[in-house]
């Protein structure tokens, strides 16, 4: 069974520890993991909302313009991504720890103020527990999970005054940590290594040794046309 | 020449109310339910100038939401006990709660009204 099946999305790649038999971490495609997390959250919350019609509108972008008849409305979207160095900044290829902040907003209206307060409190509890106790969603990164951890989350609410009804908007922000590694893309072939040895450093008077090492080249698997194409060892 | 503020009621506010207020004929109704100003008292009919102003308010992520500001203009001399915030008013069958007010020098008062449910006549 594909990892993540049951959500309607797939996140079966192993990402943190790079073995030969696994797909490399996401390279050069910023936001992909963030979108997958949004997809996963939406799938879970749609399941939660579905049987009871808890949310009349569920969406992943701030558009189209919300109407009073769309309430209660749930919106899940990427608020921001914050990249920081994953290890030494001058060692090896470029690696980041990416903190993805996902915003989950619930807009409600047309109720007594006291009722609204209770409603969004229920929303906050339901959303947090639905996501963070879901074993598929929170499974470890090494086993196909979407993220390494949730270092912080926050809750706030606003009470819009310019509205035709008593309204409230619940704002949950969850931070998901992922690793994003940018492997260099090598476009030429490596045929030999040229190595200089010298005792005592560059200024030493000791005579150095230079070695040229021919590297074995893999034959193309399908080379019917006789070209000397070479793959591997790049 | 000094302004006769007392005359503002007879010359301006009363005339405006007579001309524009709902609840004065069989085609519209304004019924106050004084749950805050007179708890336990029965609803009573009245009149008021009804205004709907479309606005856009912004939610999380600058998400726009189309909504409306409802106001009901009243002449305080029409009431023995004027409505206060928290009272309900039913206008042509739709229920609203009186929320915030602006009072003028001619004893007119404009109440911002919050709807109990989306108004089908306003939101398509």
Q: What is the pLDDT of residues A29-43, one digit of tens each?
A: 445 799 999 999 999
Nearest Cβ partner of B117 from A62, A110, A169? A110
How many CA atoms lie within 13 Å of A142's alpha carbon, on the beta-carbon side?
Answer: 3
Position A169 confidence tier, pLDDT thresholds 50, 70, 90: very high
- Domain residues for the domain of A221 are 188-234
- The mean per-residue pLDDT over the stretch B86-94 comes to 94
Nearest-CA distance from B100 to chain A in Å? Answer: 10
A185 pLDDT above the threshold of 70: yes
- The mean per-residue pLDDT over the stretch A59-85 comes to 92
What A222-229 contacts at long range (C-beta under 8 Å, 24+ apart), as own/partner pairs, is: none
Residues 42-71 of A with CB under 8 A from B: 62-63, 65-69, 71
- ipTM of predicted complex: 0.84
From chain B, the residues in CB contact with A110 under 8 A are: 115-118
- The mean per-residue pLDDT over the stretch B59-71 comes to 90
What is the average pLDDT value for chain B, to the nearest integer? Answer: 90
Question: A113-132 and A32-49 helices cross at what angle (nearest 10)?
Answer: 120
More confident residue, A43 or B10: A43
**Do A143 and A222 sit in the same domain of this protein?**
no
**Do A211 and A102 sit in the same domain of this protein?**
no
**Do A156 and A41 sit in the same domain of this protein?**
yes
**Do A137 and A210 sit in the same domain of this protein?**
no
Nearest Cβ partner of A67 from B62, B66, B97? B66
More confident residue, A211 or A17: A211
**Do A215 and A119 sit in the same domain of this protein?**
no
For residue A75, which of A108, A118, A107, A122 has the smallest C-alpha distance? A107
**Do A106 and A195 sit in the same domain of this protein?**
no
- The mean per-residue pLDDT over the stretch B1-30 comes to 84
CA closest to A80 among chain B residues: B61
- The mean per-residue pLDDT over the stretch B27-35 comes to 95
Instruction: Go through B21-55 and write b for each residue having 16 or more CB atoms within 10 A of its CB, e for each that does not.
Output: bbbbeeeebbbbbbeebbeeeeeeebbbbbeeeee
For residue B65, which of A20, A40, A147, A59 has the smallest C-alpha distance? A59
More confident residue, A192 or B122: A192
What is each CA distance from B120 to A30, A118, B70, in whole angstroms? 44, 26, 14
Ramachandran quadrant class, A110 (left: phi over 0; alpha: psi -120 to 50; beta: rest):
left
Whole-model pTM: value is 0.74
How many CA atoms lie within 13 Å of A116's alpha carbon, on the beta-carbon side?
Answer: 21
Q: With an 8 Å Cβ cutoff, is B61 touching chain A?
A: yes
**Do A104 and A210 sit in the same domain of this protein?**
no
Residue B115, both tokens = 């709807």
**Do A154 and A209 sit in the same domain of this protein?**
no
**Do A61 and A112 sit in the same domain of this protein?**
yes
* Beta-carbon separation of A162 and B55 below 8 A: yes
**Do A210 and A155 sit in the same domain of this protein?**
no
A226 pLDDT above the threshold of 80: no
User: Which CATH entry fits the domain spanning B5-115: 3.20.20, 1.10.3470, 1.25.40, 2.40.10?
Assistant: 2.40.10
Radius of gyration of chain A (CA): 26
Position A217 confidence tier, pLDDT thresholds 50, 70, 90: confident
Per-residue confidence (pLDDT) for residue A225, from 0 to 100: 47
For residue B49, which of B30, B77, B26 has the smallest C-alpha distance? B30
Per-residue confidence (pLDDT) for residue A32, from 0 to 100: 76
Residue A59, both tokens = 């969406």
**Do A228 and A163 sit in the same domain of this protein?**
no
Per-residue confidence (pLDDT) for residue A50, from 0 to 100: 80
Q: How far apart are CA A153 and CA A130, in angstroms?
A: 14
**Do A39 and A87 sit in the same domain of this protein?**
yes
Domain assignment present for A198: yes
A157 pLDDT above the threshold of 70: yes
Residues 127-146 of A with CB under 8 A from B: none
Per-residue confidence (pLDDT) for residue A127, from 0 to 100: 96
Total domains present in chain A: 2
Position A221 confidence tier, pLDDT thresholds 50, 70, 90: low
* Beta-carbon separation of A160 and B64 below 8 A: no
pLDDT digits (tens, 9 = 90+) for A17-27: 433 333 444 44
Q: How many CB atoms lie within 10 A of CB A121?
A: 13
Per-residue confidence (pLDDT) for residue A220, from 0 to 100: 63
- The mean per-residue pLDDT over the stretch B48-52 comes to 95
Instruction: Go through A175-184 and write b for each residue having 16 or more CB atoms within 10 A of its CB, e for each that does not.
Output: bbbbbbbeee
More confident residue, B38 or B106: B38
């Amino acid at each position: 069974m594909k990892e993540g099946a049951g959500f309607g999305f797939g996140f079966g790649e192993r990402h943190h520890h790079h073995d030969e038999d696994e797909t490399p971490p996401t390279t050069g495609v910023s936001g992909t993991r963030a979108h997958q997390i949004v997809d996963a959250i939406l799938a879970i919350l749609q399941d939660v909302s579905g049987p009871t019609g808890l949310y009349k509108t569920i969406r992943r972008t701030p558009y189209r313009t919300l109407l009073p008849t769309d309430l209660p409305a749930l919106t899940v979207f990427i608020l921001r991504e914050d990249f920081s160095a994953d290890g030494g900044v001058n060692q090896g290829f470029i690696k980041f720890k990416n903190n993805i902040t996902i915003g989950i907003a619930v807009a409600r209206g047309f109720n007594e103020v006291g009722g609204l307060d209770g409603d969004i409190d229920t929303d906050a509890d339901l959303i947090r527990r639905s996501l963070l106790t879901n074993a598929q969603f929170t499974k470890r990164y090494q086993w196909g999970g979407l993220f390494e951890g949730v270092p912080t989350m926050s809750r706030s609410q606003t009470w819009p005054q310019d509205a035709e009804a008593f309204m409230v908007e619940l704002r949950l922000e969850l931070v998901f940590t992922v690793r994003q590694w940018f492997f260099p893309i090598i476009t030429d072939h490596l045929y030999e290594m040229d190595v200089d040895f010298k005792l005592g450093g560059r200024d030493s008077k000791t005579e150095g040794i230079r070695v040229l090492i021919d590297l074995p080249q893999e034959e193309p698997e399908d080379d019917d046309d006789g070209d000397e194409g070479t793959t591997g060892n790049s | 020449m000094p302004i006769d503020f007392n005359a503002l009621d007879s010359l301006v506010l009363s005339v405006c109310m007579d001309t524009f207020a709902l609840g004065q004929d069989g085609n519209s109704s304004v019924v106050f339910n004084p749950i805050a100003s007179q708890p336990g008292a029965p609803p009573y009919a009245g009149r008021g100038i009804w205004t709907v102003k479309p606005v856009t308010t912004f939610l999380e992520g600058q998400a726009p939401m189309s909504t409306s500001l409802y106001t009901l203009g009243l002449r305080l001399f029409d009431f023995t006990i004027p409505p206060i915030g928290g009272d309900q008013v039913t206008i042509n069958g739709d229920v609203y709660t009186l929320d915030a007010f602006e009072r003028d020098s001619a004893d007119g008062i404009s109440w911002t009204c919050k709807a109990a449910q989306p108004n089908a006549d306003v939101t398509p």
